[in-house]
Amino acid sequence: MVGAGIFALLGAAGAIAGSAVWVSFVIGGLIALLSGYSFGRLGARYPAAGGLVEYLVQAYGVGRFSGTMSVTMYLGALVAVSLVARTFGTYAVALIPVGTPQIMVSVLAALVILAFMVINLGGAKAMARAENIVVLIKMSVLVAFAAVGLVFVDPAQLAPASYPPAPMILYSVAITFFAYEGFRVITNAAEDMADPARTLPRAIMTAIGLVMVIYVALAIAVFGNLPPDKVVAARDYALAEAARPVFGQAGFIIVAVAALFSTASAINAALYAVTNVTYEMARKGELPAIFGEPIGHSREGLIVSSATIVLLAVLFDLSAIAVIGALTMLFIHMVTHIGHLRLLDQTGASRGLIWLAVLANAAAVALGGWHLSTTNPGLLLWIVGFIALSFIVETGLHAVTGRKVTARTPGQQTTGN
């Protein structure tokens, strides 16, 4: 979860919410907790490698709508991983001597994707071993930075009088929520859990709660030590820049290295999740069958997805698409929660909390969309384009294959990644 979101998007959020970014992270965390509750209950009832793909099918049945939403989520996930990879490249280049060609951002982004593709070919155990090491390093650095940074905070820089208007803080939630969005990956590990009904909900809620505390502390530490204009000026590596006033150049280097570990771990986990998602979608006929074919200890969907991510990371500057990715995922979450309302008898979830999840996600989508319509309306077309492309892919596949697929029954397992 702690990947490009906090390292790359802190500056972007600060450009909108200023020194009140910590408030935006609190709101984004609360939305994530509501979504996490919904997904946890769905995952406990329908443990599947596909995660949200399975929940959409259970709620809406196998058809054009659930298929379109699933493909949209898949495309959004590829864009998100590409953004993470470019963040890795950006921080890596920041550590290299001045004068390094910018093309190295793309080169390093491609190399890190390919490296973790090879690791994931070793299966879930290989992925988990690498992930545990990376998480230990990055979390140690971030917790230490937050703890020390809070000691040097200048309260005047965080005074409410310096906050932008409340609507601006709310508009930024679409960005800060994206920093939490990785909790969705946990649902894709359900089939590798010995007791998903017990483990999955606890893992999701615990992860979101811990990350929320860290994000809020980091936001306060950063904007309490640097004015918003300096954070925005260094938006691509804002967290490392914020370490300079506290730790000097050594702090910049340490946090930048932590960013490399953090974004690397996010790529590692995301490739694992994407592989499980594409396998499940291939099983349901929502992607070509090749995505589900075995290779090594994984699936060929890992190879196809990694190649697509490399292409996106090399050819495009995806920083401007971060909000599109966030709004797309918020929309998918909202649709999934609405579908959950149809499954309450099966999941036993609280109707009130699921409705809160629906309304919270809908509000974030509406506010983010409204802000885009006034600042960069062209980006809204990307969201429409994602959904339209997903519908075309879904319709075309079903027309070509003509396969009839069905949702699994609760408790049924398949062999995933």
pLDDT tens digits, one per residue of 363-415: 999 998 888 888 888 888 888 888 898 898 888 877 765 544 444 554 444 44
Amino acid 297: pLDDT: 67
CA distances from 94 to 81, 87, 90, 265, 317 (A): 20, 11, 6, 19, 17
Q: 232: how many CB neighbours lie within 10 A of its CB?
A: 18
Q: Which residue has the tokens 């802000």?
A: 371
- Residues 50-72 have a mean pLDDT of 88
Say which residue, 122 or 337, is predicted with more confidence.
337
> How far apart are the C-alpha atoms of 257 and 252, rounded to whole Å?
9
- Residues 41-56 have a mean pLDDT of 89
CATH architecture of the region 4-401 = Up-down Bundle (1.20)
- Three-class HEC string of 177-222: HHCCHHHHHHHCCHHHCCCHHHHHHHHHHHHHHHHHHHHHHHHHHH
> How far apart are the C-alpha atoms of 390 and 40, rounded to whole Å?
26
Domain boundaries defined on the chain: 4-401
CA distances from 74 to 30, 56, 153, 171 (A): 24, 13, 40, 25
Amino acid 49: pLDDT: 77
- Burial 3-27, CB ≥16 within 10 A → b, else e: bbbbbbbbbbbbbbbbbbbbbbbeb
Amino acid 80: pLDDT: 83
- Residues 31-47 have a mean pLDDT of 95
pLDDT tens digits, one per residue of 89-121: 988 988 887 777 888 988 999 999 999 898 888
Amino acid 158: pLDDT: 92
- Burial 240-259, CB ≥16 within 10 A → b, else e: bbbbbbbbeeebbebbbbbb
> How far apart are the C-alpha atoms of 132 and 125, rounded to whole Å?
11
Nearest CA among 341, 358, 349, 407 for reference residue 58: 407
H or E segment and range at residue 298:
strand 298-299
Amino acid 406: pLDDT: 47
> How far apart are the C-alpha atoms of 18 and 405, rounded to whole Å?
49
